C-alpha cells in the first residue's frame, strides 16, 4: 500500500514554521533544506505543490512564512 501524503501549500507552510520554531531550520535557509525533514517518497509531491504556487527550491524559507503572526509590541517604545 502506498501511503504518500498530499502536501498542500498550507501544510508545507505549517511544517516549515514548526521546524523554524523548533530551531531545526533557519528562515534564511533555502526551501530545499526542508527535504531533510520530509519523507523521501513525499518529496516529489511537495516539490510539485511548491512549483504550482510559484516557489523555487532556492527561495528562502522565510518566503513560505508570509503568514507568520507577531505579538503586538505597541507597548514598546
Residue 45 confidence (pLDDT) above 90:
yes
| Of 37, 35, 25, 36, the residue nearest 61 (C-alpha) | 25
What pLDDT does 69 receive?
52
Structural contact between residues 16 and 61, judged by C-beta atoms closer than 8 angstroms: yes
> How many other β-carbons are positioned within 10 Å of the β-carbon of residue 67?
9
pLDDT in tens, 19-39: 999 999 999 999 999 999 999
Residue 12 confidence (pLDDT) above 60:
yes
Residue 1 confidence (pLDDT) above 50:
no
Q: What's the average model confidence in pLDDT over 49-77?
A: 79
Q: Please, is 45 exposed, middle or buried when counting C-beta atoms within 10 Å of its C-beta (0-12, 13-18, 19+)? A: middle
Amino acid at each position: 500500500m502506498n501511503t504518500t501524503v498530499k502536501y498542500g501549500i498550507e501544510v508545507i507552510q505549517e511544517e516549515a514554521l514548526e521546524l523554524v520554531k523548533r530551531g531545526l531550520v533557519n528562515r534564511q535557509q533555502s526551501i530545499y533544506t526542508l527535504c531533510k525533514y520530509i519523507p523521501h517518497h513525499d518529496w516529489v509531491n511537495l516539490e510539485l505543490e511548491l512549483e504550482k504556487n510559484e516557489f523555487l527550491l532556492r527561495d528562502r524559507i522565510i518566503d513560505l512564512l508570509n503568514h507568520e503572526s507577531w505579538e503586538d509590541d505597541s507597548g514598546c517604545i
